[in-house]
Chains A and B, each alone.
Chain A
Amino acid sequence: AQKITQTQPGMFVQEKEAVTLDCTYDTSDPSYGLFWYKQPSSGEMIFLIYQGSYDQQNATEGRYSLNFQKARKSANLVISASQLGDSAMYFCAMREGDTSGTYKYIFGTGTRLKVLA
């Protein structure tokens, strides 16, 4: 079973509008971290935002916020005031086992976001 599911292969958003990218996850480990990365065409994975499983509040980083709904096992990324430079591939990822010795990141299949002028 997939542990990270991104159901939107592609999304369009108008410049200056907000957009939500969906992510659901599956784990039995009580300690985990959730991440969003941006991957432009250059290939580099750029960290956007992190949410720990024990964090009480939703994470925010500038225009990025993570809508963490633990009971539903969802971790949607919200980008406010979209900019043309936001056009890229976006990956949701999970790191299980914060209390164990190795830290394997599991990625979803990604959502390609296109911001329209």
Chain B
Amino acid sequence: NAGVTQTPKFRILKIGQSMTLQCTQDMNHNYMYWYRQDPGMGLKLIYYSVGAGITDKGEVPNGYNVSRSTTEDFPLRLELAAPSQTSVYFCASSYSSSGQGALGREQFFGPGTRLTVL
């Protein structure tokens, strides 16, 4: 199993450009998450998904969009990139039995995507 994979590893964007960060997991996990990590800070939750077709906002969703059309993939879309979106983005996944929520489940993280907006 590859676990959680993210592409690209690095990207430089100009202000106003858009891009999609890809995240794929092969563990058949139902929960998936997107976090951002700013320098010297912990991770903050952007969006999450409890299963295909279901997404919801986390703590810092502004400027981002997500979709979850399959169990495996959870892409993060940046529209009109801004310097404030310069960060390292981590995708994560976890598994929970139906109806039990993901509380306390270990989250498996991808290697991250380092994004710079100039």
Chains A and B bind each other: no
